[in-house]
Structure 1
Amino acid sequence: MQTTLKAKRFTFAQIVKLSPVFASKLLFWKTFKHSLNLDNPQTFSEKLMWLKLFEDVEFKVRFTDKVKMREYMIALGYSHLLVPIIGIFEEIEDIIFEQLPRKFVMKCTHGSGFTIVCENKRELDYQKTRLQLAEMMATNYALINAEPHYLKIKPRIIIEKYIEPSRSDISNAYKIHCFHGEPKIIELALKRNTRNEQSVMLTPDWEDTGYIEKKLPYEISESKPKQLEDLLAIAKKLSKPFTYVRVDLNIVDEKIYFNKLSFTPDACLNIDIHEQANRELGQWLELNIGKRKQPISIARSKS
């Protein structure tokens, strides 16, 4: 089974190298069971795909790289929102686990989901962790879901302080979808890190949009953060240069922390929002299709 999966991933990676557009159409068809319209995109998913394939990739690299993104935050006066860094490493061999604190978080800078959370170093298998990091570092994330803006990010490992809430129920993640520099949707995870995890999409006024059909009992008023205005102001400032971006922020013990910017959330393939919502969200994105350039090539990749 594992061999078959690796073979499929290898084959798809070759397709991505030949044509990110064709690879994206395959992903779209597999997910939604209808063709991707890049000539006249209408839905949120289609327009995100168009932006992924035709918008300036070089511009996005700086804001996707987890190290370079910190420079942007500092330039905007948001250094206080950054999780403190323990170290940045280009080689796994340079990491001395014995010198790390008892709790820490390791992230690779060139992809999404490349994260190792250590809550107790005494229980950490150093050799297994090194192998995990080696696999992550060797992975060309741009080839997994045909996302060209990950291509030119230099693989590095960033080790951050583990931010631990004083109570287990007061750490919340807020994913703020911004269209042309305006926060329009706040996506909030319900029951995070469990099998019942689900998201809800809210307006900036903290009202349920109904874009995601809720399966879990949920009281909107009880989850509204005191820092809502601050969250929206931060997202507005960070998203100003972009046609679309999702600004991910966390609140731990009433303090706001920056997580990341995402230009292609869910690889542009969110299956949780219903069809009408997909069209309504798409109306907020205006594309310069008339100035469309050739799609970015990933053929330069050696991975």
Structure 2
Amino acid sequence: MNKILDDISKWPIEKREEFLKKVFEEKMGRTLNLEEPKSFSEMIQWIKLYYHEPLMGRCADKVLFKKFIREKLGEGYTAKTYEVWEKPEEVDLRNIPEQCAVKSNCSSDGNNILLVADKSKIDFNKTEKEIKENWFDRLKLHTNSFANYYYGVQPKVYVEEYLEEADDYDVLCFHGKPKFVYVKTEHFEDGINREVGYPMSFYTTEWEYINARYKGIPTKADIKKPAHLSKMLEISSKLSEGLPFVRVDFFENAGKLYVAEFSFAPWAGLRAYEPEAMDYEMGKWLDIVHTAKAEYVKRQDRSV
């Protein structure tokens, strides 16, 4: 905890490139090609390093993201927010609802989330200390990553309504077009082997099982088609307009559809696919040339 963390956002682009190439080779088992990326995973690294879109920074902030969803879809598509704390000294768990969820606005993968099913069971002093010391420290959050769209995000902690989430349905959209869905199941159930992970299963937009997976992650071929699939695809198309890639995450609660969050780099683009050919097929859907020639930063601009 006392280790001084380096601020990646202050690194020159050459240092970020060099370090990310080492990480990519370690995680993916192959060389990262940033000059002419071909696979989806390579293109995600390119986007993290070079692509600048203000909307991505806004939606990477899970507090501002909810405002964006209200603007695009209207009320009722996200969990209700009770409180937003912008500074550590504002944190007060004693005044939160009896049931709620406390979350960081710039974390993911289940980190910095407190699900409060019964407030009376909280160790207030210990939990508040953890939140104040770590959940606002930008060097310990995604604000200190290789994804440049996090660099302008102000760390916050927010309190939202407690919802018994079921399966997650994540729609992967390329240039505003939903291409396929993956479903996360059993991740809130007891007894799941956390080292192996909970099942993540790929399906087409017509709900046909795709025989592929993230390396080492279980998958299921018999998941029932969600009741709101057509609505998810419609909403995803609307929300992803103007973005080269985004994963739009949904969940259903009590028969109602909610938008959970955006992901611009699932698994940080550092989880291998089985078969590897899927990574390259997905790369065909993401037009980096078109992206680079848009009104945003170009690859040749070494001043990023």
Q: Shorter-chain-normalised TM-score: which range?
A: 0.7 to 0.9
Amino acid at match of 2:46: W
Q: Distance in 2 between matches of 1:271 and 1:38?
A: 17
Residue equivalent to 2:299: 292
Q: Counterpart in 1 of 2:170?
A: 175
Give, in angstroms, the shift of residue 57 of structure 1: 4.5
SS in 1 for 2:73: coil
Question: In structure 2, which of residues 191, 213, 220 is the aligned counterpart of residue 218 of structure 1?
Answer: 220
Structure 1 unaligned regions, length at least 5: 166-170, 298-303
Aligned length: 285
What is the percent sequence identity of the aligned residues? Answer: 24
Please provide the CA RMSD for this pair.
2.4
Q: What does the per-residue CA deviation read over 1:219-268, in whole Å, with 9 as the maximum and x for residues that have no partner?
A: 53x52111110111111111112000010111112211111111111111
8 Å CA contact 2:198–2:217 kept in 1: the answer is no
Task: Check 1:190–1:272 CA distance in 2 against 1; reply closer, same or farther (3 A cut).
Answer: farther
Contact 2:171/2:178 (<8 A) preserved = yes
Alignment-derived partner of residue 160 in structure 2:
160
In the alignment, what sits opposite 2:262?
261
**Residues in 1 aligned to 2:26 and 2:303: alpha-carbon distance in whole angstroms:** 22
Aligned to 1:271: 272
Going from structure 1 to structure 2, the CA distance change for 1:217 and 1:109 (only over 3 Å counts) comes to closer
Tell me the TM-score normalised to structure 2 length: 0.85
Amino acid paired to 1:175: D
2:42 match: 46
Secondary structure in 2 aligned to 1:67?
A: helix
Decide whether the 8 Å contact of 2:200 with 2:220 is kept in 1.
no
- CA distance, structure 2, for counterparts of residue 129 and residue 274 of structure 1: 42
Distance apart, 1:129 and its partner CA:
1.4
Distance 2:301 2:79 in 1: 38
2:75 is matched by which residue type in structure 1? Answer: S
Point out where structure 2 has 5 or more consecutive residues left out of the alignment: none
**Is contact 2:172-2:246 (8 Å) kept?**
yes
Q: 1:37 offset after TM fit, Å?
A: 0.2
2: CA distance between counterparts of 1:117 and 1:26? 36
Structure 2 CA distance, aligned partners of 1:178 and 1:111? 21
Relative distance call for 1:40 and 1:121 in structure 2 (3 A) is same
Aligned equivalents of 1:265 and 1:218: distance in 2?
19
| Counterpart residue number, 1:186 | 181
Residue by residue, what CA displacement relative to the aligned partner does 1:79-134 show, whole Å, maximum 9, x if unpaired? 21110111111123323322211111111223323322111111111122112212
Partners of 1:34 and 1:93 in 2: how far apart? 46
Say which SS state the counterpart of residue 76 (structure 1) adopts: helix
Q: Tell me which of 17, 34, 45 is aligned to 1:21.
A: 17
1:248 aligned counterpart, secondary structure:
strand
1:22 deviates by 1.8
- Aligned residues of 1:105 and 1:118 also touching (Cα < 8 A): yes
1:199 paired residue number: 200
- The letter for the 1-side match of 2:284 is Q
Give 1:124's aligned amino acid: I
Q: CA deviation at 1:293?
A: 4.5
**Aligned counterparts, 1:23-172, within 5 A:** 23-112=19-108, 113-134=111-132, 135-140=134-139, 141-142=141-142, 145-164=145-164, 171-172=166-167
Q: 1:146 to 1:122 in 2, by over 3 A?
A: same
Change in CA separation of 1:130 and 1:217 when aligned onto 2, cut-off 3 Å: closer
Preserved CA contact (<8 Å) 1:84 1:160 = yes
